[in-house]
Chains A and B, each alone.
Chain A
Amino acid sequence: MAYLGVIISMLVIFGGLAWLLFRSIKGREVERRVIFVFIFVAVAAPILFPITFEEHASPVVKGLFDHIDTLPPGSRVLISFDYDPAMAPEVQPMANAISFHCLDRGHKVVFMSLWATGQTLLFNTLEDVIRPEFPDLIDGVDFISTGYKAGNEGVLNVIVSDFKKMFPTDVNGVPLDSAVIFDEINSCADFDLIVALGGGRPGPKEWVLFVGDPADVPIGVGVAAVVAPQLYPYYPRQIIGMLGGVKGAAEYESELAHRHERFKNMAQPGLKMMGPQTLAHIVIICFIVIGNVAFFRSRRREGR
């Protein structure tokens, strides 16, 4: 049934695009509403009739994956959720996969957020991934959430030298002094890896400028696709690896499923979302071709 749905959807999309190409050869432009309908079908069809593709981690994604994989168990990792629900469909799959990976490798993970909305999204990861998958791990010993703190770069400027000065308690009001995980953590310099997830400001760039460089801590990032090009100047020296958009999340999930048997049975939203993204990209490419055909036809006609 799913295959039939996929075939019918493809026929509708590509049949329609062929018809539009034929019209463009005659020099006719495509109306905006028609483009919207095609994008809707291209995104909706793979959601209704899931199509999955095999993904392979690119070097920029592998950089972060391998670093987490090769850190000795018990290493201290800080993960910051600096994003809002608008970015969440792209970034949350990364957050879930990276959190799973770190805890599965036996690392001690501290979660925090520089965005007010990030704290609730952090709770989602705790509820959806950590508690069901790692029921034996103890809050305050194996992982801890310090929650959100207002102050943007100001927070980073303080925690780079004294973490507890800015976060005296965890998200539930328990003093960090009583948390075992914080026995050997005084500042950001005591972390073996920091993963900054987000895309806005403050976000990964601020983590590099205010914490990564001054404290000499490796930084890995996961960002929305539109932000990734802005972070390439920091890769690979200041940022050890980067996950950009749904594609980055899908590559990370794929690598995780290949190398960690347990992850194969878990939800892989990044890989699932690659179907709609792939089809939407192809439809956009087809529209660019159609637009150029119409443009050259009309220019030739004007030339005559």
Chain B
Amino acid sequence: MRQQIPLLITFIVGTLLIVSVFIPPFGDLETTFNIWFDIIAVFAFFLGGGNLLRVHINKLRKRKRDWGFSIVTIVGFLVMLIAGLFKIGNPGDIASAVDAPGSLFYDIFNSVQYPLSATMYSLLAFFVASASYRAFRAKNREATLLLIAAFIILLGRTPFGVMLTYWVPDSTSLLQIPNLAIWIMNSPNLAGQRAIMIGIGLGVISMSLRLILGIERSYLGGDK
């Protein structure tokens, strides 16, 4: 029964949702199911928060490697939770947004999370430069093509691309670096992206059918 009831629910819900797309009287079902989904999804926040605390408190208790970072995680989580729940410094009333300008939540977000996240992301520039130096080498024909494309795109994304080829006449404007960069994006890139998307689409359809028909059962947990 532990296996069959979830399988039955999946089959009924999956079939109904497909029917609702194709048969108009069932159209409202999709909206109803989406609202149910959103309500259930909110509980994931509780699960996520609880799980975060459980994992890090456990790590602290057992003095596992890098347990100091767990203190930072727990303190950060609790400070933001308290700032949001009690709306500390919030200029609005009880119905106002948790992160209304002027609130402690808003200030912490803008002065801690914003710069930290942006810094982490911008570190990519260093790794991209190092990886480009090592990876973009004309070892064979394919690598050379990739190298030339990277060159054109990199130059095309800067004003130097315009400066270098501004003298190219309008009749052959495709040879101007920014236009070449656009052509690479619009033609070879587009063809590759479409192929990937069609592949993903077919994969999603087959996986959905496997789920609805009960062939794919890994979401139930265990090995069965």
| A and B together in one complex | yes
Q: Which A residues are closer than 8 A to B by beta carbons?
A: 30, 32, 35-36, 38-40, 43, 53-56, 58-60, 84-89, 117, 119-120, 123-124, 126-127, 147, 149-152, 154-155, 157-158, 161-162, 165-166, 169, 171-174, 225, 228-230, 232-233, 245, 247, 274, 277-278, 280-285, 287-288, 290-292, 295-296
Find chain B residues with CB under 8 A from A126 CB: 101
**Contact of A58 (CB < 8 Å), options: B31, B113, B133, B182:** B182
Extra 12 A-B pairs, beta carbons < 8 Å, given A274-B159, A288-B150? A117-B113, A119-B99, A123-B101, A123-B106, A150-B41, A158-B35, A162-B31, A284-B132, A284-B154, A287-B133, A288-B151, A290-B133
Find chain A residues with CB under 8 A from B93 CB: 173
* B190 pairs with A155, CB closer than 8 A: no
**Contact of B101 (CB < 8 Å), options: A40, A86, A127, A284:** A127
- List the 3 closest pairs (A to B, CB-CB), nearest first: A173-B95, A151-B38, A85-B117
Given contacts A151-B34, A284-B128, contact A120 B151 (CB under 8 A): no
Find chain B residues with CB under 8 A from A161 CB: 31
* B45 pairs with A150, CB closer than 8 A: yes
Find chain A residues with CB under 8 A from B160 CB: 278, 281-282
| Cα distance A3–B190 in the bound complex, in angstroms | 42
Given contacts A155-B38, A158-B31, contact A295 B137 (CB under 8 A): yes
Report if B3 contacts A (CB, 8 A): no
Closest chain-A Cβ to B200's Cβ sits at a distance in Å of 11
List the one stretch of B8-16, B53-61, B118-126, B212-220 in contact with chain A. Answer: B118-126
| Cα distance A226–B147 in the bound complex, in angstroms | 17
Report if B134 contacts A (CB, 8 A): yes
Binary interface profile of B, 34-58, with partner A (CB < 8 Å = 1, else 0)?
1101100110010000000000000
| Cα distance A215–B6 in the bound complex, in angstroms | 33
Find chain A residues with CB under 8 A from B122 CB: 89
A-B contact pairs, 14 of them (CB 8 A): A55-B159, A60-B182, A89-B118, A89-B121, A119-B99, A151-B38, A173-B95, A229-B193, A245-B157, A280-B125, A280-B129, A284-B133, A290-B133, A292-B137
For chain B, which range describes its interface: under 10, 10 to 19, 20 to 34, or 35 or more residues? 35 or more
**A-B pair number, CB within 8 angstroms:** 169
Which of A85, A87, A247, A278: most chain B CB closer than 10 A?
A: A85
- In this complex, what residue of B is CB-closest to A36? B126
Closest chain-A Cβ to B68's Cβ sits at a distance in Å of 24
| Cα distance A84–B31 in the bound complex, in angstroms | 28
* B109 pairs with A35, CB closer than 8 A: no
Report if B185 contacts A (CB, 8 A): yes
Find chain B residues with CB under 8 A from A172 CB: 92, 95-97, 100
Report if B4 contacts A (CB, 8 A): no
Report if B155 contacts A (CB, 8 A): yes
Given contacts A120-B106, A233-B194, A274-B159, contact A165 B99 (CB under 8 A): no
Closest chain-A Cβ to B135's Cβ sits at a distance in Å of 9
* A284 pairs with B41, CB closer than 8 A: no
Closest chain-B Cβ to A168's Cβ sits at a distance in Å of 12
- In this complex, what residue of A is CB-closest to B120? A86
Q: Which residues in window 138-167 of B have CB below 8 A to A?
A: 138-139, 147, 150-151, 154-155, 157-160, 162
Find chain A residues with CB under 8 A from B147 CB: 288, 292
Closest chain-B Cβ to A304's Cβ sits at a distance in Å of 19
Find chain A residues with CB under 8 A from B139 CB: 295
* B136 pairs with A154, CB closer than 8 A: no
Binary interface profile of B, 83-94, with partner A (CB < 8 Å = 1, else 0)?
000000000110
Closest chain-B Cβ to A58's Cβ sits at a distance in Å of 7
**Contact of A43 (CB < 8 Å), options: B99, B114, B125:** B125
* A165 pairs with B35, CB closer than 8 A: yes
| Cα distance A245–B185 in the bound complex, in angstroms | 14
* A154 pairs with B185, CB closer than 8 A: no
Closest chain-A Cβ to B154's Cβ sits at a distance in Å of 5
Q: Which residues in window 171-204 of B have CB below 8 A to A?
A: 178, 182, 185-186, 189-190, 193-194, 197
**Contact of A86 (CB < 8 Å), options: B35, B118, B193:** B118
Closest chain-A Cβ to B221's Cβ sits at a distance in Å of 23
| Cα distance A127–B117 in the bound complex, in angstroms | 21
Closest chain-B Cβ to A221's Cβ sits at a distance in Å of 14
Given contacts A84-B117, A157-B30, A173-B96, contact A232 B186 (CB under 8 A): yes
Closest chain-A Cβ to B40's Cβ sits at a distance in Å of 9
| Cα distance A166–B126 in the bound complex, in angstroms | 42
